Amino acid sequence: MRAVAIKKGSREKTTGFKEMGTLRCDGCGEEFFLGHNPQSVDKRVAEKQAKWLEKVLADDHQCDKKHPDRIELPN
């Protein structure tokens, strides 16, 4: 696994990932830690992943779904 988004305050572990930033859901305010595998850290990829994650989180609200604690990010 190269990159994940993990909900802050969840029981999911962030160990082994390099923190690339935090994203807050516009719909509910929940925050997600964006982490990359230390061997594949890429700031530009992280920026694209943050935009992708914003859309996923917004879609969750449109579908009345709860956000999962861990979301695997695309490369």
Q: Which pLDDT score is estimated for 56?
A: 98
Give 5-30 pLDDT, tens digit per residue. Answer: 999 999 998 889 999 999 999 999 99
Confidence (pLDDT) at 45: 96
Looking at residue 14, what is its pLDDT? 87
pLDDT tens track for 35-45: 999 999 999 99
pLDDT tens digit string along 56-75? 999 999 999 999 999 999 98
| Count of structural domains, the chain | 1
Q: Is 59 helix (H, G, I), strand (E, B) or coil?
A: helix
pLDDT of 42 reads 95
Strand partners of residue 6? 33, 70
Range of the domain at 48: 3-72
d(CA 54, CA 72): 13
